[in-house]
Amino acid sequence: MGIVRSLIAAFAIVLATWPSFVVAEDFPTKTIRIIVPQSPGGATDTFGRAIGQKLSERWKHPVVVENRAGAAGIIGTEAVAKAPADGYTLLVTYEGSQAINPSLYEKLPFDSVKDFEPVATIGVTPFLFIVGPQNKAKTLREFLDLARADPDKLNYGSAGNGSVNHLLGEMLKVEADVRIAHVPYKGAPQAISDVIGGHLDAAFASAPSVIAAVQQGLVRALAVSSAQRVAISPDTPTIAEGGVKDFDVNPWWGIFGPAGLSPSIVSKINADVAEILKEPDFQETLAKQGASPLASSPEQFRALLVKDIAKWAKTVKAAGIKMN
């Protein structure tokens, strides 16, 4: 009798797990939609389209990127939270939206951790502090000296209130003890355009979104936010080198699915992304954008998200920023 019960129990386990294996083996069978909650032309859009193209080639099915910008990434992120948990709607986002918004907004229409399945990290990339070619400052130290000499006269732009660009500016102001006015935009490209045109003194912009303008001489990169210099712009000093000790911000980008997504699908996408990150041409694509590949398991990605939510909560509180 005991043997029969053991066989029945074993069979029940097989039946319980069988559907997930079938799902993983069959996935995908149709077009996959990647939602990018930021504007076209920015870093998130760049990485979303790059990984989408590679996944499409690997899966032999179209991967369509859809930009749903607005409300600091909330609109597009909410769309994924409410999408069917079948793997055919994914979110490509970054630390700025997923880890900062929980501290900025009291009533988000989703929980950044509970309503999503972390699937795979893609890469990390620093931000560049840029000024226009007409700006007098040739180094970060010179810019900070100008700011100290005339408080609140200089300004910096961001991709919007509460964005990484904004908080980087606030961190710089606190750490360097300067007063610089913040000018929020609806996206990083608009801020970069106004720096180029001389309508804005400076801006923080992710390397992918601004490196072309730097290389063309349209803007000058005074500093990079990471602890080390980056290969794509080796002559650009770090903010720490510019006199702001221990400054180090190097945000991640990654893929999420709606909560409840089959573990087998999560594992498949994670494994496929990990293989893509090893491909020389994809690494070259990242390098051209000033980014480095970052591979992790779904469990490691979740732990990273939770840690960064706590990290940014301290920054938001110190800056006294609160969104409605």
pLDDT digits (tens, 9 = 90+) for 268-291: 999 999 999 999 999 999 988 889
Chain position carrying tokens 């077009």: 31
Which of residues 12 and 46 earns the better pLDDT score? 46
Cβ atoms of residues 116 and 305 within 8 Å: no
Cβ atoms of residues 165 and 127 within 8 Å: yes
What digits encode the pLDDT tens for the residues 156-200? Answer: 999 888 888 999 999 999 899 999 999 999 888 899 999 999 999
Residue 15 has pLDDT above 50, yes or no: no
Length of the chain: 324
pTM recorded for the entire structure: 0.79
Residue 121 has pLDDT above 90, yes or no: yes
| Average pLDDT of span 196-220 | 94
DSSP character for 136? Answer: S
Residue 45 has pLDDT above 80, yes or no: yes
Comparing CA positions, the residue from 74, 217, 58 lying closest to residue 132 is 217
| Average pLDDT of span 109-121 | 98
Taking phi first (over 0 means left), then psi (-120 to 50 degrees means alpha), and beta for anything else, what does residue 71 get? left
* Superfamily holding 127-224: Periplasmic binding protein-like II (3.40.190.10)
How high is the pLDDT of residue 22? 43
How high is the pLDDT of residue 20? 41
CA 81 to chain centre: 17
Is 6-125+251-319 assigned to CATH 1.10.357.10?
no
What is the distance between the alpha carbons of residues 267 and 285, in angstroms, rounded to a whole number?
Answer: 24
| Equal fold, 6-125+251-319 vs 127-224 | yes
DSSP3 helix / strand / coil % (the chain, rounded to 5): 45, 20, 35
How high is the pLDDT of residue 109? 96
Cis peptide before 28 (omega within 30 of 0): yes
How high is the pLDDT of residue 72? 82
Domain segments of the chain as ranges: 6-125+251-319, 127-224
Model confidence at 95, in pLDDT bands (50, 70, 90)? Answer: very high
CB-facing half-sphere around the CA of 129: CA atoms within 13 A: 33
| Residue 1 identity | M
How high is the pLDDT of residue 236? 96
How high is the pLDDT of residue 19? 45
Cβ atoms of residues 229 and 149 within 8 Å: no
Handedness of CA 184, 190, 194, 196 (dihedral sign): positive
What is the distance between the alpha carbons of residues 272 and 203, in angstroms, rounded to a whole number?
Answer: 36
What is the distance between the alpha carbons of residues 116 and 98, in angstroms, rounded to a whole number?
Answer: 10
Comparing CA positions, the residue from 88, 25, 97, 110 lying closest to residue 68 is 97
- Look over the chain and give the mean of its residue pLDDT values, rounded to a whole number: 91
Residue 225 has pLDDT above 90, yes or no: yes
Model confidence at 21, in pLDDT bands (50, 70, 90)? Answer: very low
